[in-house]
Amino acid sequence: MKAATVTDSTRVDPSATPPSELVPMRHPGRRLSALLVLLVAANLGYSVMTNDNFEWPVVGDYLFNPEIMAGLRTTLILTVVSMTLGITLGIVLAACRMSENRVLSTLSGAYLWFFRGTPLLVQLIFWFNLSALYPRLSLSVPFGGPELAGAATNGVLNLWAVAVIGLTLNESAYMAEIVRGGLLSVPRHQSEAAIALGMNRWLTFRRVVLPQALRVIVPPTGNQVIGMLKHSSLVSIIALADLLYSAQLIYSQNFRTIPLLVVISIWYLVCTTVLSYAQSHIERHYGRGVHAGGQRPGGLAKLRSLGSRLSQRSRPNDNPNPA
Amino acid sequence: MSATTSAPDGTDTSTADPVVRIIDLHKSFGAVEVLKGVDLEVHRGQVVVILGRSGSGKSTMLRCVNHLERPSRGTVVVDGEVIGYRIKGDKLHELSPSAIAKQRTRTGMVFQAYNLFPHMTVLENLIEAPRRVKGVNRAEAVADAMQALEEVGMAHKADVYPSTLSGGQQQRVAIARALVMKPSVMLFDEPTSALDPELVGEVLNVMKRLATSGMTMMVVTHEIGFARGVADEVVFMSEGRLVEKGPPSQVIDSPVHESTRTFIDSIL
């Protein structure tokens, strides 16, 4: 097209045909900044690797230490149990909050007000010290009547129970709001269509509203799971041997504080990475019918498509046309 | 109120009991009275087209038939059964939500915005209610669904998600979804109002075929051509009242009531 005009302008002669080859806008600044960032990162990496105070050999020694492994297991179990209970209780709280029944919605609101309004750490210490407030937990006739059944508080609430109760009650308050937001995001027309087909309220909720709400609920819930994994380290304050407390036990004896913190940071990162990957898979499942087959671009997109190519599982909507 | 009734026109169908009876129907939203006493009968195989300005109460009346709206006064009877209530002595006692849900299987409804379930494929949309509400087994539900899709010309799209379909295609699927429940009456609430003009025809054609096959239909629409060609009876509503009723030739071409005349003139 060199026969065409060589002028640098948006104008074109009425008689002339503009060239047809398109050149996208260039972004020279991006490459330059990428280079700069790489340099800084490389320098940082160099200093981390060569700084003897990190004591990398010690990190290697303790990475698979049995006590660290036991701590990791505790952290994972605590996360799974508290999160499962927290989500379940959160759904119930959200349903109560949205109920037409004033008693239920007020109770749910008060619960949220309390458990979102006080720090998790304070709540944990509070549950830990419950025996000071109520030495015995008992079922009895109200207003100081005779006791029907009971036991010493410290006998019922061991460390695990305190940790799970503390984390669950706090988590459920946050999950309740996430679930409520998701339910509100489903257009009213959807439940109306289900009702018009003769579906009752429970069917409408379970088959039509909830599956669509999950598309909105899953991303922040993934956030909450990752948050829970890390917040569970707060239980170290009540001396439950989670990942952090296991490391503390070791470095209180050998004073290798930094390398042990590096060790548990590595494990926290491994866990959160796996969780993020799982989250993106779940998100895609509940986004079906919305993104119309098109995948959203993103850093994990390639990894994801690789993953789905590797896994030979058939998708739930692959059922063959019977006709 | 002052409905110019052309008497239960002794045509073939009206000998049977009516499928839908609307008796003295009132409905208020807060202080606004949307329906001010409507009486209407729809007989088996009849196609009744309801015309009227927006806000005249025609959609509300339709939504009272399947109890999506609870009437403030008056009753709706479908297939000889009072909708939403049980008669005890001289009073009507409200039914439980699940009992009302069961009654709704007698009516099929098609909405302006299609309202297909976006997270289910076309086929899943169609077999959901038959399986979970009526307890039909999967094979039978799928067979019924494919037949219904065949009737609306959408069988080739059974396994796609609704978002990949055009508005006209989605509405045809929505009609099929209502049909698989084998309702006694089909309620159409402005089924073509959300469609691009070139897609209106395919939906009206499906509705025409449905009418020819003998389906009892109540249709709220602005499609005068459809009313003229397909309706057995045209009803005109104004300000919450049914002001004129009769065969299309009468209501559309020589309306008696002033408000009917101005409305017909404005849309023709």
> Under DSSP, is residue A290 helix (H, G, I), strand (E, B) or coil?
coil
| Cα nearest neighbour of A213 on chain B | B119
Cβ–Cβ gap A189/B105 under 8 Å: no
Segment B200-223 shows an average pLDDT of 95
List, as ranges, residues 111-130 from B with C-beta within 8 Å of A. Answer: 111, 113, 115-121, 123-124, 128-129
Instruction: Give the ipTM of the model, two decimals please.
Output: 0.89
Residue with tokens 């009242």: B241
Cβ–Cβ gap B104/A194 under 8 Å: no
Tokens of B167: 């508005």
Distance (Å) from the C-alpha of residue A90 to the closest C-alpha of chain B?
23
Q: What is the pLDDT of residue A308?
A: 53
pLDDT in tens, chain A (323 residues): 445 456 778 888 888 888 888 988 888 899 899 999 999 999 999 998 888 888 889 999 999 999 999 999 999 999 999 999 999 999 999 989 988 889 999 999 999 999 999 999 999 999 888 877 777 777 777 777 777 777 777 766 788 999 999 999 999 999 999 999 999 999 999 999 999 999 998 899 999 999 999 889 988 999 999 999 999 999 999 889 999 999 999 999 999 999 999 999 999 999 999 999 998 888 888 877 775 443 333 444 445 555 555 554 444 444 444 43
Does pTM top 0.90 for this prediction? Answer: no
Alpha-carbon distance of B82 to B103, in angstroms, equals 9
Q: What is the pLDDT of residue A6?
A: 63
Question: Which residues in chain B touch residue A215, judged by CB atoms under 8 angstroms apart?
Answer: 119
Beta bridge partners of A152: A136
Alpha-carbon distance of A149 to A134, in angstroms, equals 15
Helix (H) or strand (E) segment spanning residue A172: helix A159-185
Segment B128-153 shows an average pLDDT of 96
Distance (Å) from the C-alpha of residue A182 to the closest C-alpha of chain B?
15
Q: What is the pLDDT of residue A118?
A: 93
Q: What is the pLDDT of residue B34?
A: 95
Question: Which residues in chain B touch residue A294, judged by CB atoms under 8 angstroms apart?
Answer: none
Helices and strands per DSSP (H, E), number in chain B: 9, 12
> Under DSSP, is residue B214 helix (H, G, I), strand (E, B) or coil?
coil
Cβ–Cβ gap A195/B101 under 8 Å: yes
Distance (Å) from the C-alpha of residue B175 to the closest C-alpha of chain A?
11
| Cα nearest neighbour of A294 on chain B | B164
Tally of residues, chain A = 323
Distance (Å) from the C-alpha of residue A226 to the closest C-alpha of chain B?
27
Alpha-carbon distance of A3 to A179, in angstroms, equals 64
Candidates A195, A290, A319; nearest CB to B163: A290
Cβ–Cβ gap B105/A201 under 8 Å: no
**Residue B10 DSSP one-character state:** -
Does the beta carbon of B155 lie under 8 angstroms from any beta carbon of chain A? yes
Higher pLDDT, B8 or A220: A220
Cβ–Cβ gap A322/B120 under 8 Å: no
Question: Which residues in chain B touch residue A190, judged by CB atoms under 8 angstroms apart?
Answer: 115, 117
Helix (H) or strand (E) segment spanning residue B78: strand B73-78
Alpha-carbon distance of A291 to B164, in angstroms, equals 10
| Cα nearest neighbour of B179 on chain A | A197
For residue range B53-111, list pLDDT tens digits in order.
988 999 999 999 999 999 999 999 999 999 999 999 888 899 999 999 999 999 999 99
Alpha-carbon distance of B262 to B268, in angstroms, equals 10
Q: What is the pLDDT of residue B103?
A: 94
List, as ranges, residues 150-209 from A with C-beta within 8 Å of B. Answer: 189-190, 192-201, 203, 207-208
In terms of DSSP bridges, do strands B73-78 and B81-82 run parallel, antiparallel, or are they unpaired?
A: antiparallel
Beta bridge partners of B23: B75
Q: Are B84 and B94 in contact (CB under 8 A)?
A: yes
Return the minimum-mean-pLDDT range out of A304-318, B9-23, B169-183. A304-318
Q: Are B245 and B233 in contact (CB under 8 A)?
A: yes
Segment B259-268 shows an average pLDDT of 85
Name every residue whose Cβ is closer than 8 Å to that of residue A209 and which is 6 or more positions away in sequence: A183, A186, A190, A191, A194
Percent of all residues in chain B with a pLDDT value above 90, rounded to a whole number: 83
Return the minimum-mean-pLDDT range out of A50-64, A254-268, B167-181, B231-245. A50-64
Q: Are A287 and A317 in contact (CB under 8 A)?
A: no
Alpha-carbon distance of B141 to B131, in angstroms, equals 7
Cβ–Cβ gap B117/A194 under 8 Å: yes
Cβ–Cβ gap B119/A290 under 8 Å: yes
